[in-house]
Amino acid sequence: MSEAQVKEQPDTGDDSEAEIRHLTQTIRAMREQLEEQRLDSDAESQRAIAQANNEISQLKSTAAALRDELENTKLETNDEIHKATASAQAEITQLKETIHSLRDEMDRLTVDYETKIQDIERGHRDEVVQLQDAVSALRDQLQS
């Protein structure tokens, strides 16, 4: 009822007081219900905020763990690459040294064989000269 309607009706005393009490109780009940709904809404909001904060915290932890794992993987990969590169470089150096050593040995053997061949050829020439001298001496003996 509006205020105008209340003023227009004659005051019956008990009815008005009963209606006022009833309206007061209704208002009080509605206020309590409204306060209860507000408290429920606040509690639900707090639960939702807490849940969201918890999820955010978990996601941050997961992101940090993944970031750390990625960094560790990068470091391990770089370490493996470095080790493989160092190992390959060591093998290359060793192979180069082996090649150099084998070339030196081959050059030494080539010089030794060339010297032996020259000695053999010189020996053959000397023998041919001796044989030619012997043949010439024998001819001279036969002709004399």
Which residue do the tokens 């009833």 mark? Answer: 22
Is residue 64 scored above 70 in pLDDT?
A: yes
Q: Convert the pLDDT of each residue in 80-124 to its tens digit.
A: 999 999 999 999 999 999 999 999 999 999 999 999 999 999 999
Smallest Cα–Cα separation from 115: which of 103, 123, 125, 127? 123
Q: What is the mean pLDDT of the chain?
A: 92
Grouping H, G, I as helix, E, B as strand and the rest as coil, residue 49 is helix
| Amino acid letter, residue 129 | V
Question: Given pLDDT bands bounded at 50, 70 and 90, which one contains residue 6?
Answer: very low
* Residues spanned by the domain of 60: 11-106
123 located within any domain:
no
Of the two residues 68 and 16, the one the predictor is more confident about is 68
Q: What is the pTM of this model?
A: 0.49
Tokens 């993987």 belong to: 73
Residue 115: inside a domain: no
Sign of CA dihedral 15, 16, 20, 21: negative
Alpha helices in the chain (DSSP H): 3-8, 14-143
Total number of domains constituting the chain:
1
Q: Which pLDDT score is estimated for 9?
A: 55
pLDDT single digits (tens) 28-59: 999 999 999 999 999 999 999 999 999 999 99
Q: Is residue 100 part of a domain?
A: yes
pLDDT score for 144: 79
The answer to whether position 5 is within a domain reads: no
DSSP summary character for residue 9:
S
Q: How confident is the model at residue 4 (pLDDT cuts 50, 70, 90)?
A: very low
Q: What is the pLDDT of residue 12?
A: 57
d(CA 73, CA 70): 5
Q: The dihedral of CA 72, 74, 79, 80: what is its sign? A: positive
CA separation for the pair 52, 13 (Å, rounded): 57
In a domain, 81, yes or no: yes
Is residue 142 domain-resident?
A: no
Task: Note whether residue 20 is domain-resident.
Answer: yes
Is there a domain that residue 91 lies in? yes
Residue type, position 36, single letter = E
What is the reported pLDDT for 13? 65
